[in-house]
Amino acid sequence: MPQLMLIGADLVAVVVLTGVYFRRHRRRDLVVAFVGVNVGVLVVASSLGSGNIGAGLGLGLFGVLSIIRLRSTEIDQREVAYYFAALALGVLGALPGTVLWHAPALMALLLVAVVVGDHPRLLRRHQRQELVLDGALTDHVALVARLEQLLGARVHTVSVQRVDLVNDTTWVDVRYETTALQSGRRRVGVAS
Residues 105 and 133 occupy one common structural domain: no
Local structure of 162: helix, strand or coil: strand
What's the domain count of the chain?
A: 2
Quickly list DSSP for 135-159. S----HHHHHHHHHHHHTSEEEEEE
Q: Residue 68 belongs to what domain range?
A: 2-117
What confidence score (pLDDT) does residue 173 get? 95
CATH number at residue 160: 3.30.70
Q: How far apart are CA 85 and CA 88, in angstroms?
A: 5
- Both 102 and 167 in one domain: the answer is no
| Residue pair 141/114 in contact by the 8 Å Cβ criterion | no
Question: 9 and 78, same structural domain?
Answer: yes
Measured CA distances, 128 to 75, 147, 159, 173, 176 (Å): 15, 12, 11, 7, 6
Q: Is the model's pLDDT at 84 over the cut of 80? A: yes
- Comparing 52 with 19, the larger pLDDT belongs to 19
pLDDT the model gives residue 151: 94
In sequence order, the β-bridge partners of residue 157 are 175
Q: Are residues 88 and 174 in the same domain?
A: no
Residues 112 and 133 in one domain: no
- Residues 93, 8, single domain; the answer is yes
CA distance 28 to 36: 12
154 shares a domain with 90? no
- pTM, 2 dp: 0.70
**Final residue of a structural domain among 84, 99, 117:** 117
Domain boundary residue, one of 91, 117, 143 = 117
Same domain, 13 and 48: yes
Alpha helices in the chain (DSSP H): 2-25, 28-50, 55-72, 77-94, 102-117, 140-151, 180-191
Q: Rounded to 5 degrees, what are φ and ψ at 154?
A: -90, 120
The per-residue pLDDT for 143 is 96
pLDDT of amino acid 179 = 80
- SS3 state of residue 128: strand
Looking at the structure, do residues 56 and 138 belong to the same domain, yes or no?
Answer: no
Among 68, 99, 117, residue at a domain's last position: 117
Query: Do 72 and 144 have their domain in common?
Result: no
Mean residue pLDDT across the chain: 84
Query: Is residue 70 over pLDDT 60?
Result: no
Residue-wise pLDDT for 57-69, tens only, equals 566 666 666 665 5
Pair (39, 80) in one structural domain: yes
Q: How confident is the model at residue 162 (pLDDT cuts 50, 70, 90)?
A: very high
